[in-house]
């Protein structure tokens, strides 16, 4: 039997885990040895079935320098630049970390979900290389790589940044006595298999040829609805509307925020934290919805056990429509409220039935007509109940 290693390096949320878990389960069932090097280990047990894989921490860039990144990232090479490919010394360190991981695991096959540094490191060894994803992380083999924004800019600057990234990659390959690349996109094109878990009509890149479209995982398509990336904004706005329509007047202010750039270095929440630094101690809680609009199951929360006990009456209300779970977490439950959570603000992330969230997420089919109104109302109700309770409590939750 063979040894398989799944690698997830970039991106946030459960979508990458949802891609990996069914394959890991099936490979394990067939008697193969399965490892999963994951960016976020804290959520693995929510998706993987027990004993289907051995988990490892994926090497990835954890610090970003505002003076050494491309803002905003407009091309795939920009994304690479902002994640370590802009400096050969930094890139070399991360590649060496992946090489050590490969040495420990000794995989026959490495399956990459948005893991460019791991993919580069794998060129140094004999393992088969397989890309996995809905298309965005498997860019076309072309030069220059396409501009992802519709707004005009200096295309010469885009090409210059891509050439710089290629220079860093080839500097490393040369040092390791490996053949240089002619273009950045070859990093993703020169693989043994590209597993596109989407359909031709939903591919992020037009004109892809010779591709195998495997579609979405059928076993995950168990609901009649899918999710919409801006649903969280609608849920938050409806929360405020509900409280106003019911003429409820909590003791504290409810503030509705529509975050921006969560996936591009989180500039929205960074700027919010700066602008309201003097007020953060006055925030009694923060709630975020960023996993679509399927049926809510409860909240993932970075709170104390004492605070969780105080929320039992709220859970009893939420139990009426099955949204009463509170899952304690040691880290921020969502990305945009992370600066608040790090400073001790009780933080809540609305949990939904996300089994098909990433089947259409970030594709042309991710449109408003896919929303199920009843489930959207359930999400707004769950946030309204929790939001009003937190704002109306005699004393704020303990930190």
Q: Which fold has domain 3-220?
A: Rossmann fold (3.40.50)
Residue 245 pLDDT exceeds 80:
yes
Domain boundaries, the chain: 3-220, 231-392
User: Cα dist. 41→28, 32, 36, 48, 331 in Å?
Assistant: 19, 21, 9, 11, 11
Inter-residue contact 201 to 208 (CB < 8 Å) = no
Mean residue pLDDT across the chain: 89
Instruction: Using the structure block, give the residue that is written with the tokens 């994926």.
Output: 58
- Of 194-203, 221-230, 250-259, the poorest mean pLDDT is in 221-230
Task: State which H helix or E strand residue 103 sits in.
Answer: helix 88-105
pTM over 0.75: no
Tell me which CATH code domain 231-392 carries: 3.40.630.10
Q: For 28-84, what is each residue's pLDDT tens digit? A: 999 999 999 999 998 888 788 889 999 999 999 887 766 678 888 999 999 999 999
- Residue bearing the bigger pLDDT, 211 or 132: 132
Q: For 72-125, what is each residue's pLDDT tens digit? A: 899 999 999 999 999 999 999 999 999 999 999 999 999 999 999 999 999 999
> What does residue 296 show for φ and ψ, rounded to 5 degrees?
-75, 140
pLDDT at 227 (0 to 100)? 41
pLDDT at 186 (0 to 100)? 98
């Amino acid at each position: 039997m063979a040894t398989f290693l799944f690698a997830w390096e970039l991106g946030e949320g459960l979508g990458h885990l949802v891609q990996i878990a069914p394959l890991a389960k099936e490979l394990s069932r067939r008697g193969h040895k399965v490892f999963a090097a994951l960016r976020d280990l804290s959520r693995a047990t929510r998706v993987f079935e027990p004993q289907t894989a051995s988990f490892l921490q994926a090497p990835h860039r954890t610090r970003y320098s505002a003076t050494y990144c491309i803002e905003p990232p407009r091309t795939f090479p920009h994304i690479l630049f902002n994640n370590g490919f802009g400096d050969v010394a930094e890139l070399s360190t991360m590649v060496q970390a992946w090489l050590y991981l490969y040495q420990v695991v000794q995989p026959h096959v490495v399956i990459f979900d948005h893991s460019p540094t791991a993919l580069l490191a794998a060129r140094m060894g004999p393992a088969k290389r397989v890309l996995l994803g809905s298309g965005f992380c498997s860019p076309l083999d072309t030069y220059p790589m396409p501009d992802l924004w519709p707004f005009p800019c200096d295309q010469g600057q885009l090409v210059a940044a891509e050439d710089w990234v290629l220079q860093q990659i080839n500097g490393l390959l040369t040092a390791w006595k490996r053949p240089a690349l002619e273009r950045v996109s070859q990093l993703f094109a020169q693989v043994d298999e590209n597993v596109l878990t989407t359909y031709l009509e939903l591919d992020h890149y037009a004109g892809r040829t010779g591709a195998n479209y495997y579609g979405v995982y059928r076993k995950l398509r168990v609901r009649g609805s899918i999710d919409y990336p801006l649903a969280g904004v609608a849920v938050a706005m409806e929360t405020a509307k509900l409280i106003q329509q019911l003429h409820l007047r909590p003791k504290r202010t409810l503030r509705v925020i529509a975050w921006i750039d969560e996936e591009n270095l989180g500039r929205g929440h960074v700027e919010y934290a700066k602008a309201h630094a003097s007020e953060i101690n006055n925030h009694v809680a923060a709630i975020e919805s960023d996993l679509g609009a399927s049926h809510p199951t409860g909240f993932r929360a970075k709170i104390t056990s004492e605070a969780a006990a105080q929320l039992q009456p709220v859970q009893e209300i939420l139990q009426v429509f099955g949204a009463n779970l509170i899952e304690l977490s040691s880290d921020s439950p969502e990305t945009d409220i992370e600066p608040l959570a790090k400073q001790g603000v009780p933080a809540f992330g609305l949990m939904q039935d996300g089994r098909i969230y990433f089947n259409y997420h970030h594709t042309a089919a991710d449109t408003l007509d896919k929303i199920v109104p009843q489930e959207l109302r359930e999400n707004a109700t769950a946030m309204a109940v929790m939001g009003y309770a937190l704002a109306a409590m005699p004393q704020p939750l303990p930190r």
